[in-house]
Amino acid sequence: MNKKLATLDEGLAAVELCGFALKYVSEKFKTPELCLLAVQKNGWALKYVPEKLRTYELCLVAIQKDGFAFQYVPEELKTPEFCLAAIRQNVYALKFIPEDLRTAMLYRTAVQKYGKSLKYVPKKRITEKLCLLAVQQDGSALEFVPERFKTPVICIAAVQQNSLALNYVPDELDTPELRLATTEQRGGMYDYRVLKDVSDEFITAEQCLDAVKNCRVGWTLKYVPKRFLTPELCLAAVEHDRLGKALKYVPEQFKTLELCLSAVRRDSRAIYHVPRKLKTAEVCMAAVKNCRSGQALKNVPNRLKTPELCFLAMQQNIRALDHVPEKIQKEAFVVRRDAQGRLHNAKGPSVFWRDGWELFHWHGVAIPGGWVNGSPPSAKEALSMMDIKKRMAACEILGWDNILQELEAKVLDGDTTLDINTFFEARFPSDRP
């Protein structure tokens, strides 16, 4: 939009959609009511409100909607109350607030809302109490705490809130006690960051067990000191793993058939980390059964890829066909593809299993078998489909001539002897023209 809106009704309609549209409303149509509506939609619209209409009430609405709107508030209205309202909405509005209005209360409000806003507080206004408030809100705000205020109390508070604050702790305060304080970061629970950051000598077996149970990401096991790596701990890690990664960090001597089975039943992706000698038919079957993407078949040795296993993987997801050996495809399946290699058959199943199981595809899109076996969808059904790929497949199967005929489309313009440049009017399934 780059031209002025011609009428009040046009301006009202535009502002109701977007407050910024006030920019394009003619000055003579900018009424107090329209301007209020604009800033209610978007606080920044205050920029386009005429100076004479920027009242206390309207400006307050604007900055409560977006603290950045403070920069457009008239100087005479910039009070401590306005400043606080702006900061409470957006701490970054601090840069628009005049120095003489930046009170201790204002800075306190800013760091309590966003600890790292301590960065914008002048060094001469920073106090130890303000630093403590900042790190209690976000431990990584320790980065902006002046060195003279980096006391044991503030550093411990910072690492308890966020273990990443350890990066900003002075060397002389980086003690085992402080590192162990990171365990309180998550209500006393241990996680992989504790094992990673704290020296081995200060870690206990109980902390390691707590970490693998609470964190539930496989790589926690990576940071467990070797002396605490036991079969029981590895089993706990596998049973609580949500990413299929724990088995990767289990020492080879602890990788048993039972442990590998537990891992793939928990997450099929764990098959990638199962040693070759333990990839038995039972383990591979469990992984394939638990894999909706069909990709588990990719990590099954060819010697174990039986027709039955491949069939099971394809039932989970047809993409598993990419990992079915060519010999099995030829002997157990009938597979039809188009010129681009996509599953496709215009007259029957695209994949046919020897026991009668069938799949149907139209240029790579899965479709109901009836669509190519004499029961295609109606034009209205096709055009109402939410899945755009299926909708396009249905329309191609029906043919556009049949669709236009069923919808009783009328030619508006163009040459009906040509396949292009002909304009039709048709009533769609929603009954809209």
**Residue 418 in this model has a pLDDT that exceeds 60:** no
Structure tokens at 409: 């489309």
Q: Is the dihedral angle over the CA atoms 130, 133, 138, 142 positive or is it negative?
A: positive
Q: Is residue 311 part of a domain?
A: yes
**Per-residue model confidence (pLDDT) at position 253:** 94
**Per-residue model confidence (pLDDT) at position 182:** 61
The range of the structural domain enclosing residue 294 comes to 255-323
More confident residue, 430 or 167: 167
Distances (CA, A) of 189 to 129, 186, 206, 221: 28, 5, 11, 16
Contact 362, 396 (CB under 8 A): yes
Q: How far apart are the first and last CA of the chain?
A: 28
DSSP 339: T
How far apart are the C-alpha atoms of 432 and 9, rounded to whole Å?
26
Helix, strand, coil: what percent of the chain each, to 5?
65, 5, 30
> Which of 101-110, 229-238, 380-389, 420-429 bottoms out in mean pLDDT, i.e. has the lowest?
420-429
Q: Which of 122, 131, 88 is nearest to 102 (CA)?
A: 122
Q: Provide the CB-side half-sphere exposure for 213 (13 A, CA).
A: 10
Distances (CA, A) of 140 to 144, 153, 157, 175: 8, 15, 11, 18
**Per-residue model confidence (pLDDT) at position 194:** 65
Confidence of residue 432 (pLDDT cuts 50, 70, 90): very low
**Per-residue model confidence (pLDDT) at position 430:** 56
More confident residue, 59 or 315: 59
How far apart are the C-alpha atoms of 34 and 122, rounded to whole Å?
40
Confidence of residue 363 (pLDDT cuts 50, 70, 90): very high
**Per-residue model confidence (pLDDT) at position 186:** 47
**Per-residue model confidence (pLDDT) at position 323:** 92
**Per-residue model confidence (pLDDT) at position 191:** 57
Question: Tens digits of per-residue pLDDT, 178-200?
Answer: 766 665 544 444 556 667 766 67
Question: Tens digits of per-residue pLDDT, 251-267?
Answer: 999 999 999 999 999 99
Q: Is residue 284 part of a domain?
A: yes
Q: Provide the CB-side half-sphere exposure for 206 (13 A, CA).
A: 3
Contact 291, 316 (CB under 8 A): yes
State the average pLDDT over residues 103-118: 90
Q: Is residue 433 part of a domain?
A: no
Q: Which of 402, 365, 404, 406 is nearest to 385 (CA)?
A: 365
**Per-residue model confidence (pLDDT) at position 216:** 72
DSSP H helical ranges for 116-230: 128-137, 152-161, 176-180, 192-197, 205-215
Q: Is residue 315 part of a domain?
A: yes
State the average pLDDT over residues 226-233: 92
Task: Please state whether beta strands 410-413 and 423-425 pair in parallel, antiparallel, or not at all (unpaired).
Answer: antiparallel
Q: Is residue 15 part of a domain?
A: no
Structure tokens at 18: 């977007």
How far apart are the C-alpha atoms of 82 and 4, rounded to whole Å?
32
**Per-residue model confidence (pLDDT) at position 40:** 93
How far apart are the C-alpha atoms of 296 and 208, rounded to whole Å?
30
**Per-residue model confidence (pLDDT) at position 187:** 41
Q: Is residue 410 part of a domain?
A: no
**Residue 213 in this model has a pLDDT that exceeds 90:** no
> C-alpha angle with apex 215: 213 to 217, nearest 5 degrees?
105
DSSP H helical ranges for 255-399: 257-266, 281-289, 307-316, 326-332, 379-383, 388-398
Q: Is residue 189 part of a domain?
A: no
**Per-residue model confidence (pLDDT) at position 416:** 59
**Per-residue model confidence (pLDDT) at position 433:** 42
- With a pLDDT cut of 70, the percent of the chain lying above it is 90
Q: Is residue 182 part of a domain?
A: no
Number of domain units in the chain: 1
Q: Is the pTM of this model over 0.85?
A: no
Confidence of residue 45 (pLDDT cuts 50, 70, 90): very high
**Residue 203 in this model has a pLDDT that exceeds 60:** yes
**Per-residue model confidence (pLDDT) at position 10:** 83
Confidence of residue 103 (pLDDT cuts 50, 70, 90): confident
**Per-residue model confidence (pLDDT) at position 285:** 95
More confident residue, 336 or 417: 336
**Per-residue model confidence (pLDDT) at position 188:** 42
